[in-house]
Each structure stands twice: as C-alpha cells, then as structure tokens.
Structure 1
Amino acid sequence: MKLTVEHADLAAAVSYAARAIPARPPAPVLAGLLLHASDSQLRVSGFNYEVSADITVPATVTENGRALISGRLLSDIVSTIRGDVHLELTGSRMMLRAGSARFTLPTLPLEEYPALPEPGAPSGTLAGPAFAEAVAQVACAVGRDDTLPVLTGISLRHDQKTGTLTLAATDRYRFAVRTLPWKNTDLDADRTALVPGKPLLDAAKAAADDTTIDLALPGAAGSHGLFSLHSQHSTTTLRALEGDLPKYQSLFPTEFSQTATVEIAALKAAAQRVALVASKESPIRLAFTADSTLVLEAGTSDEAQAIDNVDTHLEGDELTIAFNPGFLIDGLNALTTEAVDFHFTTSTKPAVMRGHNSDDQALRYLLMPIRLKG
C-alpha cells in the first residue's frame, strides 16, 4: 500500500469515519480506521457494530492495499500536519510523511476486523441540506435518558399517499415534528423506523453539503435492520432501535384560544438573560398582555430575580404560562423564520410553537408548560 493524498481530503475522510469509533471499544481493532487504497482513491472506514461510517477521497495510488490504523492517533496527527500526505505500508508499520514531519505507526490486525455492513437498497432520495436541517430541528427534543432507549431515537415515517418523510422526536416534555417531501424509490406502503438520534444528527451534518442523498429505511429489501444514508462518496449505517415513539397526532391541538407572534431574535435574547436566574423550580414565566407586550420573569423573592419584556401581537385573552427555559430556547433555536407563533389552549396544556406564516410541513414544536404555584 502506497499513496499520496491531499491533506484536506484526508482530514475530511478521517473526521467522517472517526465518528464510528467507540469511546470504549469492546475489542481493540474497533479503535482502528480501515484504510483501503485502490483505483485512484482512498477509502476510510470506521465501525463499532452499531454505527459504520465509510468515505472515499481521491488519491494517487502507487500500490493498492489495506491497513488498520489507530483512529484517534491518526486523527491527532492529521490535525497537526500540513501539505500532501504520503502513506506507505511496510510490513506491519505505516509510514506517514507530510512536509518535514515523519511518523511510523503500528498497524492493527486486519484479520480481526469485522466486515462492514452493506447498506440496503435506497428507499428514497432527497436533498442533503434539507435533510440535515430537518434532523437538526427535531434533534433538540431527543431524550438523553439511556434507560429509556426509545426516547433517544428519531422516528422517520414514510407516507405512501403524500410522498413525504416525517421526522419526530420527544423526551416526554416536548415533541418536535418536521415533514419533508421526498422521492420514494423502493417503497409500496407506509413505513416507520426509529433511528438513534445522536448518530443520525452527526450523519446528517456530515452530508449537509451533498446535493442529494439516498436513505434506506429498516425493513426495506436487504436492509438487515439497518438505516443507511448514502451520498456519492460516503455511506453511514445505523442499527435501528426497537419500539416506537408515542403517537403524536392526538397530542397537537387543532383549535386554540390564543395566538401570539413574537420576533425570535428579541425573544431569545430576553429569555437567555432572564434564564440566568431560572431553575427547574423557578422556570421562566411568560405573561402575554393586551397592550402587545410579553413580560418574561424568573426567580423568587428569596433568591435572584429577573424581568424583561419584548413586543408581541396577541390574538385572544391575556395569558400567563411558564416553561423550562432550556426547552423554550431550544425551540426558538430550531425555528428558521424571523418570528415565532405561539398557539395556546390554556396555561396548563401544551403550547405549540411554529414559524410565523410557515406551511404544514414546517417544524411543529409542542412544549409542555410548568404549572405555576398559586
């Protein structure tokens, strides 16, 4: 194995594949990145039985070959060198040269490295930037409690009738839902899959610059229980989670007693200031008043207190409601419009946040209020 590769290409490939390296590898070889040089390209792969990441970059290959190198060591080296990178395998050692730097790296046993999973046939195609945005929007609601693994996933539902893919996530305190049109290529009925949220977010971010990506949903032909994301030069596979998220359709109200519109930048800045004194026991209180003012308050008389206000447009009666400050700010960050519409039924029932003047496929963020004492 002997090749030359541009530093930027190698750095991008190592960064992409290293996402699949586990923090505590169950076997030493899983700490490695598999390098495969052939046909004027270098293929870099990582695998941990749950997630695989595989990418190819152009290279000048003098001798074809394969080698397994410590992924973290290679990542550290690549982050410090500059200029074209020359790699040459000599016996069980990999020689790496870049500029004036020289490294001799031990290799890991290739024969012990597991075979990479094969992605299933594509279920549908959509734009990489749109998918990355949608995943990022719903990922804010993914649960972080590993004792409830179902809530750590993002649901992807294909609707055969409408030709759409709907993403949803919840941690029991909020529910985020986003729908995308997509080109179905291999499905003949509705299908739902639950995919680990954090790895899916990482994979979607890595594919955000790809014009189009192919998704293969678990249950499709040849998928073997895997979700896969494939672009022209990279592939990520994720082992699907068992179970389903709670049904969310009935949770979102269809009729509202109040609607308020607020500029997102102003509200987020005020919420972040007031949140400095807020806690789980002392959430942010939002008072929507008839004089087009939204008053934000946090804190108690025995502790620090904060108050701020922003302009709003309220339709309906005055309302005071309280939210977890972090959850409120997450929802504001997820929206891509200049203003947010709050839809309320009562101060004790879930509120719906949506981008102002957004369509039915845009993000819907359902947020549970915190009951105010007294």
Structure 2
Amino acid sequence: MKFRVERDEFTEAVAWTARSLPSRSATATNQQVLMGLLLDATGPGLVVAAFDYEVAAQATLEATVHEEGRALAPGRMLADITKQLPAAPVEVETDDNKLVITCGNARFTLQTLPVDEYPTLPPLPPITGHIEGGAFGAAVAQVAVAAGKDDTLPVLTGVRLEIEGDTLTLAATDRYRLAVRTLKWSPSSPDAAGVALIPARTLLDTARSLGGGTAQVAIALGTGPSGEALAGFAGNHRQTTTRLVDGQFPPYRKLLPDSCPLTAQAEKGPLLEAVKRVALVAPKTAPVRLAFSADHLRLEAGSHGGEAQASETLPATYDGPDLEVAFNPAYLQDALTAVESDQVEFGFASAEDAEVAAKKPAILTGKGAGDELPDYRYLLMPIQLNG
C-alpha cells in the first residue's frame, strides 16, 4: 500500500475516526486489533475507519493511490502523530509489517496490527431520509442532555428517534427529567415510519461532527449483516453506524400533560445566570427554590440558619396563586440552556392549588408557541421540600 494525501485532510479524518476507538487498551488479540485505525486504499481515495463491534466510523478523503492495499495502524499513536505533522503533503506506505509515514522532513515508522483479523465494517442501512445538519445537531443536543448516564439502566442511556412521515421526534429521560423535540425532515418515502433507541453519547457526537452548517445528514435505519438492528448517519464524506440499545423505552407521552393551566414567564438569560449564582451556596444534592408571585420570581438556596444562603429576585410574568417549587439546579440549568427562545415558560398542571402544582412535574418551553404544541418540551421533576 502506498498513497499520498493532504496533511490537513488526513489529520482531520484520523482525529474524527479515532474518537470511536475503545477507551481502554485490550490485551486479547481479537480485542487488540480494535485499538487500530484501518487505512483502506483499495477503492477510489482513502477510507479511514474505526470499529469496536458497537460503533463504526468511516471518513473518506481524496488521495493519490500508487499501490492499493489495507493496513491497520495503532490508532492512538497515529492520531497523536498526525496532529504534529509539519505543513506538507503526507506519504504513507507499508513495508512488510511496518507503516512508514513521511511528511516534509519528518518520518515515522509504526508496527502495524494484523489487518486480516480486523472485523468487517457494517454497511450503511438503506437511507430513510435527510435532514439539515445544523438543525439536527441542535435538536440532538437539546434532547441528549436528559439521557441517563447510568450504564446499569441502558434503556435510559439512549435517545428514542421516531419517524412518522415528515416529522422526526427525539426523546430522552433519566427518570428525573424528560426532553422531547420534534422537527421536520425529508423522508425518502412520504409514509416513512420507524423507531430506534440510539446510544445518546454516540448520537450526540455524530450529530455534532456531521452537522456542519447547512450540510445534509442522511439517516438510515435497518439491520446489519448478522441481523442486528442498526442506525446509520452519513454526511460530509463521513458515516457512522451504531447498534441500537436493547429494551423498551418508557411510554413518555403519558408524562406530558395535555395542557398547563398555570404558567409563568421570565427572561431566559438573566434567569440562567441567577440560578448559577444562587446555586453556589447549595450543597451538591440540594435544590434551588423558585417562588413565583404576581410580578416577580425569587430564587433561594441554602438552609435557614445554615452556613451559607443566597437569594435573588427577577421580574416575571405570572398570574396565579403564590407558588414555591424546588428543582435540581444542574437539571434546571440544562433546561434553560436548551431552550432556544429569549424567554422561558414554566407550565404547571394545576391552576387551583399551588401546593399540588409544586408537587407535579413542570414543563419548560420557549415563549411564543401560542396554541400550537411547542417543538421542544423539557419536563422537570420537582424536589419535595420538607415542611
């Protein structure tokens, strides 16, 4: 194998695929090869790939191929080397079981891994539709923040992707909050339909890296060569395929109220900064209390008689009985960050009894949806206050 590529394109492709390498070194041979990056120069151009049996990442770039072939390079080392290469074209060739990299006056020789033992990369399933990359990346970021981090509950570590015609719905929950986002997309078939539970971390990383500006991202749902359920994403000469999370996602729509008769609005930016300030005095697991009154919102943290307390008052629009509710400050900050509007609206399920409303989940949305269903909703469970 022998090829020549542009330094910046090669560095970017290696860095992007290297993010899919296993996080821990493996000693068994069949696992050790997964620590490698596959360099495939058997077709037009060059393909750089990583695969750990769960996620496969491939980047295709232009290359002048002098001798076709494949090689498996130590992934982390190759990524570290390419970051430091001088500004010159890169020549790569194999010499028996060695990989020789030449760039300007720099030359590196690496021991290759057994490429014949590398698993076959899963093909991208048939394309289900396309969506504008920037919008997709933003929507995934809004939802993935609510996904669980506990791997002992794998079904909660995924983002549920639902396709129904030209509507795409994303949902995630960790039991304490729920984020749901709907947006329009371009299905390959008008009656397209499908459901997939995708690992949140993989989806978030993929959406960010493929999103670039107005680039179109292809979404593909299907099965792999062994019959495993797969989701695939492609755009900008890159593609990722991932196995889906096994399990039944909670029936989240039952948690979303049909209406919120009691609402309050506040400026998102000042409220977010106030939450950050007030939460400084709160122990890690302690809530921030929000007290809604006729024309203002008061935030408090810390216990009365404790070592530290904080409070701040902001203007707010509210028409209802005085209401005090407490939230996890980190979860509240995530919600405020995800809302795209300049104003945030809190919706409560009861307009008659403030005490009942404070014990039920609040729905945070952007302002201005009117009678239409907001395209982004963040349900946040309150923390019950003693007394």
TM-score, normalising length: structure 2: 0.91
Q: What's the offset of the Cα at 1:234?
A: 1.3
**Secondary structure in 1 matching 2:13:** helix
**Contact 1:193/1:218 (<8 A) preserved:** no
| Secondary structure of the structure 2 residue equivalent to 1:254 | coil
1:282 to 260, 280, 286: 286
The residue aligned with 1:302 is 306
Q: Distance in 2 between matches of 1:125 and 1:24?
A: 34
Please tell me whether the aligned partners of residues 227 and 238 of structure 1 are also in contact (alpha carbons under 8 angstroms). yes
Alignment correspondent of 1:76 = 80
Q: Structure 2: which 5+ residue stretches go unaligned? A: 350-356
Within a 5 Å distance, the mapping from 1:105-120 to structure 2 comes to 105-120=110-125
For 1:131, the equivalent position in structure 2 comes to: 136
1:236 is matched with which residue? 240
- In the TM superposition, 1:239-254 aligns within 5 A as 239-254=243-258
- Quote the offset at 1:189 in angstroms: 6.0
C-alpha displacement of 1:254: 2.2
Is the 2:33–2:118 Cα contact (8 Å) retained in structure 1? yes
Question: What do the CA deviations read for 1:4-52 (whole angstroms, capped 9, x no partner)?
Answer: 2222211221122112211125511000000112555221000000000
SS at match of 1:55: strand
Alignment of 1:132-151 (within 5 A): 132-151=137-156
> Of 331, 335, 345, which aligns to 2:335?
331
C-alpha distance after superposition, 1:228-265 (max 9, x if no partner): 11225111001011122211222112232421111111
| Contact 1:123–1:187 (8 Å) recurs in 2 | no
In 2, are the aligned partners of 1:120 and 1:222 still within 8 Å (CA)?
A: no
Rounded to whole Å, the distance in 1 between the matches of 2:221 and 2:125 is 8
Q: 1:10 to 1:185 in 2, by over 3 A?
A: same
| Aligned pairs (5 A) from 1:93-112 | 93-112=98-117
Question: More displaced, 120-129 or 311-320?
Answer: 311-320
* Distance in structure 1 (CA, Å) of the matches to 2:247 and 2:329: 30
Partner of 2:373: 360
The CA deviation string for residues 282-321 of structure 1, in whole angstroms up to 9 with x for no partner, is: 210011121x221111011223111112221113222111
Question: Which of 212, 217, 237 does residue 213 from structure 1 map onto?
Answer: 217
2:51 alignment partner AA: F
- Matched position secondary structure for 1:20: coil
Distance in 2 between residues matched to 1:269 and 1:349, nearest whole Å: 25
Q: Percentage identity across aligned positions?
A: 45
- Residue type matched to 2:290 in 1? L
Contact map agreement 2:224 2:230 (CA 8 A) in 1? no
Shift of 1:355: 1.1
Asked if the contact 2:365–2:374 (Cα under 8 Å) also holds between the matched residues in 1, the reply is no
Paired residues of 1:262 and 1:339 also in contact (CA < 8 A): yes
Amino acid at match of 1:234: R
1:164-205 deviation line (CA, Å, top 9, x unaligned): 110000000000000121222258564211111101111111
Task: Describe the shift of the 1:220–1:356 C-alpha distance in structure 2 as closer, same or farther (beyond 3 A).
Answer: farther
User: Cα distance 1:312–1:21, how it changes in 2: closer, same or farther (>3 A)?
Assistant: same
- How far is the alpha carbon of 1:334 from its aligned partner? 1.0
Q: Out of 184, 188, 194, which is 2:187 matched to?
A: 184
Aligned to 2:352: none
Aligned residue pairs: how many?
371
Q: Distance in 2 between matches of 1:361 and 1:307?
A: 31
Aligned partners of 1:41, 1:360: CA distance in 2, in Å? 47
Q: Does the residue aligned with 2:331 lie in a helix, a strand or coil?
A: helix
Deviations 1:52-107 (A, max 9, x none): 00110112222222110011001111122231222121221111122332211111
Determine if the alignment matches structure 1 residue 42 to structure 2 residue 55. Answer: no
Alignment-derived partner of residue 175 in structure 1? 178
Amino acid at match of 1:101: A
Measured in 2, the distance between the counterparts of 1:103 and 1:145 equals: 41
Change (3 A) 1:309 1:218: farther
Distance 2:6 2:13 in 1: 11
5+ residue gaps in structure 1? none
**Could you tell me whether the CA contact under 8 Å between 1:286 and 1:322 is conserved in 2?**
yes
Distance 2:63 2:374 in 1: 42
Look up the match of 1:61: 65
Contact 2:164-2:191 at 8 Å conserved across structures: no
Once residues 328 and 185 of structure 1 are traced to their aligned partners in structure 2, the CA distance between those partners, rounded to angstroms, is 37
Q: CA RMSD in A?
A: 2.0
Structure 2 counterpart of 1:203: 206
Cα distance between partner residues in 1 of 2:124 and 2:301? 50
SS at match of 1:347: helix
Partner Cα separation in structure 1 for residue 258 and residue 217 of structure 2: 34
Contact kept in structure 2, 1:120 and 1:224, CA below 8 Å: no
Contact 2:140 2:207 in 1 (8 A): yes
